[in-house]
Amino acid sequence: MEQVLMRIENAKAYYKLEKFSVRAVDGVSFEIFEDEVIGVVGESGCGKTTLSNLISMNILKPLTLVEGKVFMKINGNFEEISSMSREEVKKKLWGKEITIVPQSAMNALMPTIRMAKYVEHLAQSHELNERELLQKAEKRFEEVGLNPLWLKRYPFELSGGMRQRAVIAIATILNPKLLIADEPTSALDVVNQKVFLKVLMQLKRMGVVRSIIFITHDIATVRQIADRMIVMYAGKIVEISTMEKILQRPFHPYTQGLFNSVLTPEPEIRKRGIAVIPGAPPNLINPPNGCRFHPRCPHVMEVCKEREPELREVEEGSKVACFLYSEERT
Amino acid sequence: MKNVSFEVKEGEIVSLVGESGSGKTTTAKMILRLIHPTGGRIIFEGKDIWKELKDHESIKEFRRKVHAIFQDPFASYNPFYPVERTLWQAVNLLEKKPSNKKEALELIKESLVRVGIDPKDILGKYPHQISGGQKQRIMIARCWILRPLLIVADEPTSMIDASSRGGIIQLLEELREEQGTSIIFITHDLGLAYYVSDNIFVMKDGEIVERGHPDKVVLEPTHEYSKVLVESIPKLYRKLEGL
């Protein structure tokens, strides 16, 4: 039985603007287990980037945690991280328990700061010995295939692929329990994408990184490493399943449509064809009533227009939020 | 670009595939008669588009027959006008124009329905008020009105939501089925190229390094670059090796 590392309970995170709110994450509950790789997929505007901000407790106005809680296991005890102050979050969580590899990670490093400086900053924020941490960094660089001498250089002196490795190495020096990767490869060419995945999995095998939550619109990429997948639509989770299950037997009509829209150079794709889903994802200020996917769903029923389906287990390892799989089915 | 040669037949869909800097966009601009080639010729319907099409009338006719659909749907619209303006412009380019405004509007509405849009949803709206997918569909409605012989589509779906892509691709395929339109897709996405094309041309550093039927290019690549490309692309039905 997997151990739970993080639990998100009915979290609602909205961007509260003067006249209205953008309901980016609107009632989301799930768990992240220790040592798993979990993918979060969805299109632009589904709330997945807000979710990554929520999980990392990077909640800056106008983003507001309107409801719900986030718990994380720290030193063996579950703590309610959603009630921590920003100071506490910086000291206790960031860099230590949770680390983020952001979008376009290789451009995340300031070109005018030598990489060793980041390590020094990290040491200062967590009151650790700078020299010791630098030694750790040098060792980590070696472990990911970088000459430790690069630490003394500027980011622009490295190639894109090398910078990727450097960013991951520095981000994980303190062996965080959870690594959050938000669209880390979308700006990379295919070859560098593979390098990134390779380095990530290498660090995981080494035990340096424990759990990974990989947030992306690119299903074919996350599928390479994910144990489980979460599919988001319009601020809600519509399906959670194991990787094999969701590829073989996606339950939610949106998951089916989304996965059948993926185009890869494989013969199976030409046979399968491409799904045609009418309409477009709704805006999160005024999402549709009932099930948010109902205006585009090929299997829409009356109940779907009025009530929101709950996320429920439909088979072992698969949860879906859809009336097709409950007693409400007409 | 160095010595790029290829042919596109009537009703054929081909893709120029390459990373940024490969020369694919430059090739597209040359085909659209926007950049002068330094050497070689571009022949459309048997005529060299630079040497033989020089007067205003023949260039206008060329622009009627060869159309572009661009990557950024937002950039194709003037933000100060309602979106249907681009369709009115298309109607005005027709050789055989509708006899009155009412007929023209009917034609515009029909073109919208053809691309899966309810005219009520977009008429009178401004570009920022409609989705990227709708904007691209309207560009295709424009093609439906003008019936170009060739469409050059530069990353037509990369800025569209994944769930809307199938619809856009289907529309372009329908244009080929119904009007015999040829299409040149310019893309970095070998998956897309594999799915839609009759022929693929893989470009690197200004040259075509691999060409042929999609199955051949993807399942039996011969050039080092295409081999690495196909190997590195993450796939759905099989895992990448060496992770």
Give domain status of residue B105, yes or no: yes
Residue A208 has pLDDT above 90, yes or no: no
Task: Identify whether B1 is part of a domain.
Answer: no
- CATH classification of the domain holding A302: 3.40.50.300
**Number of residues written out for chain A:** 330
Residue A244 has pLDDT above 90, yes or no: yes
- Among B161, B171, B189, the strongest candidate for a mutation testing the A interface, having the largest count of A CBs within 10 A, is B161
ipTM: 0.84
Instruction: With CB atoms and an 8 Å threshold, state whether B170 touches A268.
Output: no
Mind listing the pLDDT tens digit for each residue in B158-183? 888 888 888 889 999 999 999 999 99
The reported pLDDT for the residue numbered B96 is 87
Report which residue type is found at A229: M
CA A271, B184, B2 angle in degrees (round to 5)?
120
- Does B204 reside within a domain? yes
> Both tokens of residue A220?
């074919």
In angstroms, the separation between the Cα of residue A24 and the nearest Cα of chain B is: 17
Is beta strand A211-216 parallel, antiparallel or unpaired with respect to A37-41?
Answer: parallel
Q: What is the largest CA-CA distance in chain B?
A: 65
B109-112 contact pairs (CB < 8 A, 24+): B111/B87, B111/B141, B111/B142, B111/B144, B111/B145, B112/B87, B112/B138, B112/B141
Residue A298 above 80 pLDDT? yes
Mean of pLDDT values over A38-52: 92
Domain membership of residue A196 (yes or no) is yes
Whether residue A244 lies within 8 A of chain B, CB to CB, comes out as no
* Averaged pLDDT of chain A: 91
Tell me what percent of the residues of chain B surpass a pLDDT of 90. 58
B93 in a domain, yes or no? yes
| Residue from A246, A274, A292 whose CB has the most chain B CBs within 10 Å, to mutate | A274
Res. B133 pLDDT band, cuts 50 70 90: confident
pLDDT category at A35 given cuts 50, 70, 90 is very high
Q: Please judge whether B234 and A274 are an interchain contact, meaning their C-beta atoms are less than 8 angstroms apart.
A: no
What CATH number is given to the structural domain containing B174?
3.40.50.300
Q: Nearest C-alpha of chain B: how many angstroms from A275?
A: 5
Q: Residue B163: which of A201, A257, A268 has the nearest Cβ? A: A257
State the pairing for strand pair B199-204/B207-212: antiparallel
> Quick one: closest CA in B to A270, which residue?
B195
In a domain, B37, yes or no: yes
pLDDT at A329: 63
Residue range(s) defining the domain that contains residue A18 = 4-325
User: In this structure, what token pair is assigned to residue B123?
Assistant: 């008429």
Q: How many folded domains does chain A comprise?
A: 1
Average pLDDT of chain B, as a whole number? 91
Q: Give domain status of residue B242, yes or no.
A: no
Q: Which of 261-280 (A) contact B at CB < 8 A?
A: 261-270, 274-280
pLDDT in tens, A90-117: 989 998 999 988 776 666 778 888 989 9
State the total domains in chain B. 1
* Nearest partner of B112 among B131, B79, B136, B148, judged by Cα: B136
Put simply, whether A110 touches B (Cβ < 8 Å) is no
d(CA A12, CA A26): 5
Alpha-carbon distance of B92 to B146, in angstroms, equals 10
Length, in residues, of chain B: 243
A29 and A54 Cβ atoms separated by less than 8 Å: no
Instruction: Kindly tell me if the per-residue pLDDT of B20 is higher than 90.
Output: no
Query: Pairing between strand A63-74 and A77-80?
Result: antiparallel
Classify burial at B31, counting beta carbons within 10 Å of its beta carbon; exposed 0-12, middle 13-18, buried 19 or more: buried
* Average confidence (pLDDT) over A184-195: 83
- Tell me, what's the pLDDT at A322? 97
- Residue B92 neighbours by CB distance under 10 Å: 9
Amino acid letter, residue B150: L
Tell me how close the Cα of A107 comes to any Cα of chain B, in angstroms: 18
Q: What is the least distance, in Å, from the CA of B182 to any CA of chain A?
A: 20
Q: Could you tell me the two tokens for B2?
A: 């160095």
The minimal CB distance from A274 to the residues B166, B230, B236 is found for B166
* Listed range (A24-33, A118-127, A130-139, A156-165) with the worst mean pLDDT: A156-165
> How much of chain A exceeds pLDDT 90, in percent?
71
Yes or no: say if A104 and A187 are a contact pair by the CB < 8 Å rule: yes
**Does residue B210 fall inside a structural domain?**
yes
Chain B residues in contact with A145 (beta carbon < 8 A): none
Q: To the nearest whole angstrom, how far is the Cα of B163 from the nearest Cα of chain A?
A: 6
Per-residue pLDDT reduced to its tens digit, B21-38: 888 989 999 999 999 988
Rounded Cα distance between A228 and A242, Å, is 4
| Most A CBs within 10 Å, among B117, B163, B169, B241, to test the A interface | B163
Tell me what pLDDT residue A330 has.
54
- Asked if residue A298 has a cis previous peptide bond (ω within 30° of 0), the answer is no
Phi, then psi, of A150 in degrees rounded to 5: -60, -25
The answer to whether residue A321 sits within a structural domain is yes
A238 assigned to some structural domain:
yes
Q: Which residues of chain A make contact with B193, given a CB cutoff of 8 A?
A: 265
- Contacts by residues A255-261 (CB-CB < 8 Å, ≥ 24 positions apart): A255/A231, A257/B163, A258/A41, A258/A42, A258/A43, A258/A219, A258/A231, A258/B162, A258/B163, A259/A219, A259/B236, A260/B166, A261/B162, A261/B163, A261/B165, A261/B166
Are the beta carbons of B203 and B17 closer than 8 angstroms?
Answer: yes
Indicate the residue of B166, B194, B240 with minimum beta-carbon distance to A265.
B194
CB pairs under 8 A between A and B: 124
Asked if the structure places residue A330 within a domain, the reply is no
Beta strands in A86-192 (DSSP E): 98-101, 178-182
| pLDDT tier at A183, thresholds 50, 70, 90 | confident
Which among B116, B236, B238 has the least Cβ separation from residue A262? B236
Task: Give B-chain residues touching A201 at CB under 8 angstroms.
Answer: 243
Report the distance separating Cα A294 and Cα A301, nearest Å: 8
Is the pLDDT at A234 greater than 90? The verdict is yes
pTM: 0.89
Which domain does B206 fall in, by range? 13-232
Minimal Cβ distance to A247: which of B163, B228, B236 = B236
Would A222 be classed as within a structural domain?
Answer: yes
Smallest CA–CA distance, residue B48 to chain A, in Å, is 35
The reported pLDDT for the residue numbered B243 is 84
The number of beta carbons lying within 10 Å of the beta carbon of residue B210 is 23
